[in-house]
Structure 1
Amino acid sequence: MNELIQDHEALFRALFDHAGIGSAVILPDGRFVRVNPALCAMLGYSEKALLNTRLDALVSPDQWRRLEKLSAVIRADQSGHSQIPLECRHRSGETVRGQLSLSVLADKAGAARYYIVQIHDASSLIRTKTELEENRQRLRALSTVTFEAVFISIKGICIDANLTASTMFGVPRKALIGTYATDVIAPEYQSRVREKNLSGCESPYHAVAVRKDGTRFHVMIQGKTVLIGGREVRVTVVRDIDVQVTAEAALRENECHLRSLIESASNFVLFRLRHDPDNPCQPRQILISPSIGEMVDRTRVVDFQSWLNLIHPDDRDNLLAAGQGLLDSHRLDETVRIRGRSGNGWRWLHIISVAVTDETDDQLFFNGIILDITKEMDAAAALKAREKELKQRTESLSEVNTALEVLLRKREADRMEVEEKILANAKSLITPYLEKLKASRLDDRQQVYLNLVESNLDEIISPLTRRMSRHYLNFTPTEIQVANLVKAGKTTKEIAVILGLSTRTIEAVRYAIRRKLGIKKKRANLRSYLLSIDGDTLPAGGWTP
């Protein structure tokens, strides 16, 4: 009998010590009587430390009271054991969550003598459940807020879809479940989508989808077959690319227009260069019109330096300075000469460029146009030469005209001087004697001859009299002589010497001339006035003394 008891104790001790579940024997007041290694490891205490500790010190007061109540229930119902959730404090201060199984060993009176406690550590399970729930929530949130429609299907039949799918196709989520994958695809693309699904294609492909209202739009579809719950399901992602396709179509159209413009360019060149920070004087060619071949020999232009070598020596420094200005002010506007295709002669080019920064990679580009303005420059040069020639001819004609005017004025002055002399001589040398003859006693025959002489003399001098200024007609011969000398710029003293008269006499004659001309009381210069009435000059701003 003793051997049997010893065998049972040995078996209990072996099961107790090597159990994977934390186990303990405690007194009703909470003191540990025996603990196994699993419980020590679970709570972070040594066996000795736990035996000096009470269970009620490791749990909350509420949970300890629940244990006492549970013990009473077990004893009353004689159910043997019961389980409750339990939270114990780990030695590190963290909470250990588990499931406690309680058995009561009663004495002969039915009172609790020992509690047999087994604690199953459920912390990892709880953490796993918590993480699983968090993952489910994250997956649900990701599925809800993603911009792509997500379908889960089995053999082409939808078993689940996200909110984006409902919004994208205008169909309630529940209505999508049970439909075929091709129900939302345009008829001409349904066979393609069906083939991709059956073949398990995982590469993205293009299709056209149809909304509930019949609106068609471009989509990009990508699917993958996975195992869920031991079953093969197809997870399909549908992305709306209608805006992208429309933009790409517009971009292709713009590229077509640009290519047509570049390839059909004549007398101008479009270009785009990329700035190289490591070699600022050698920008990289991105784009240049084929029409550059009309201006220069393309075989001789392989880089910027070879291009620069073709520039006229007098224009190279200006072009380099303008290039530096392009980096500083982001604009270039320069006219240069370049060696033509044949190698003979120079062509005029007008280069306009602006620097722009690519927002995607912050690179600097130079966009510009080169205009062949050789014809315009040649025409401008010819026009300038013609203007110069015309100016020279105009100046020559002006000089000739001035000379002719001087000659004409001189001739007119000479003519008037001769006419005045003739009239003066006639009045001073002939008329006085004719008057004396009239006063003498002439016979009839002599009177006839005298009348003929006067008539013929009047016939001779009458044209001269009509051409002379009316102001001179009542002048005496001396006054005419003095007036002519005044016009010639002679002073009173010089006139007196020339005519052999006194200066007082000349002053009296000058006074008489001013009186007969009506300028006696005017502050007018006599010489200027005499010249003006003969048409030799026209004073400006009134007469000056």
Structure 2
Amino acid sequence: MRGEHSVVQVCPNGLFNGATPIHINHIHAANLFTGKFFFEPPDADAMARFKQQAAKLNFDGSAFIEAVLDVPIVPKNRIHAILQYLRQLAEMIGQMGINRLKIEEGKQSIDGIQASLKKEIKQREEEAKKLTQIIEGSPIPTFVIDSDSRITHWNRACEKLTGASAKEIIGTDNHQKTFYPNRRPLMADLIVKNAGSHEFKERYGSNYHKSLLIKDGYEGEAFFPQIGKTGKRLFFTAGPIMNAKGKRIGAIETIQDISARREAEQNLRTSEARYRQLFDSANDGIFVLRDGIVVDCNQKALELFNVSREEAIGQSAENFSPEIQPDGQSSTNGLQKKRDLVNQGVHQSFDWRFFRKDGSPFDAEVSVTRSMINDVPHTLAVVRDITERQKMILALKEREKELEEKSRYLEKVNQALKASLDHREVEKRAVEENMMVHLKRFVFPYLEALGHCGVNTDARAYLNIIETNLNDIVSRFSKTVFWKYQDLTPTEVQIADLIRSGKNTKGIAQMLGLSPSSIQWHRKNIREKFGLTNKKVNLQTYLTSLTA
């Protein structure tokens, strides 16, 4: 409920409710509700309604009536006073709670401020400790001075560089005679004094400048003969230390030994001079290009293209190339493809045709690689004139062509000779086979029959001599022919021997001057005479086995 006044309402069951708003610090914070009550005891009609209600709701009638009789009775003329009292009591309790809360909040605020102060103090102590640890643990020689130029920090790296321990330096201004033979201020001392530029120039000449990173800081470089065995060249940076009000309360200085770097730079300059000499004296043309444009080249490159250095610098490879290369490709497209591959880190080596200043062409072998010069990508192109080599290659190709033609001619002659020898061998075997077949057909049978005839002793002796000599002749031929050939015709004997030696039908036909179909017919007859018809037996394998 909202507003300033209490409210009393009757519920549908005939009971009354009271409510009053609660204000704390003029803010409507809550509402206070009373329980059920009667203004006066219920009459008979009211009790009858309560009994009906109990029956309707299926409640225990007696218990329900007892509960009704327990409802408090508050006189109507006192209810608003009671509600006002309850409201004032609630508001008083609420105000007390707020006051208590404020007290707790104030206490917490004080505790918070104290905790915050402690935390800040601890944090600053930790920061100071951390700063000390950072300075002490830094590999860079570092020292810190206060406003009176007395050392407050002198790290281990500084000890190692100077040979002076922190124990003997901290709290003193002895650092001024640690770096120089005679006492004199260092850059940090000048910064603490807020010295002017004329004092810096007096101490360091042109070997100092303002720091680009540290406000009101300076950087410098000098040789210190007292540091180390033979002296060292040191680079130093110093900057002010300010308090919360912006007042200079000290300075910090870091030192770097650059002796080795300066020596390396000198060696690098010497090396660059040496490599420049090698670059200019190289026997191949060397170009240095950036984004496809010549930025440098050696003397051989100038001689190769017959141009001056001024004429070469600023040019591209297209300016020295014909529109179309000998292989038919566009010079512009071809060079762009090569550049794309080189930019991807792929080394390129290829033959290319160029023009000299006078327009005369020459062929060259080009090797292109990507290189970083002062952290900037460049292209190195090595060009070698291969005109004479190309002439030699053409001459060699012509000679190879001549030798190849002679080789093909000799191969044909060799094939012809081989064919002739094969044919002679076939004829020789055919003669031997014919002789053996005829002896076995027309001589041995009659000699055998003659042996069964009645002949005298001398005749039988001569007959035995004839048989022995003939058998000896036959045994000499048996290495190349076999006994079972006696059932074959002379042509079949000849064909069987060629089959056994591995010749195919077409080859046999060519050697004997017969048609392939005739050779097939003779093969069929040979298989029949050897009993190989309808058998899965290779004829060559079978004929070879007969002479095994």
Is the shorter-chain TM-score for this pair beyond 0.5, marking a shared fold? no
TM-score relative to the length of structure 1: 0.43
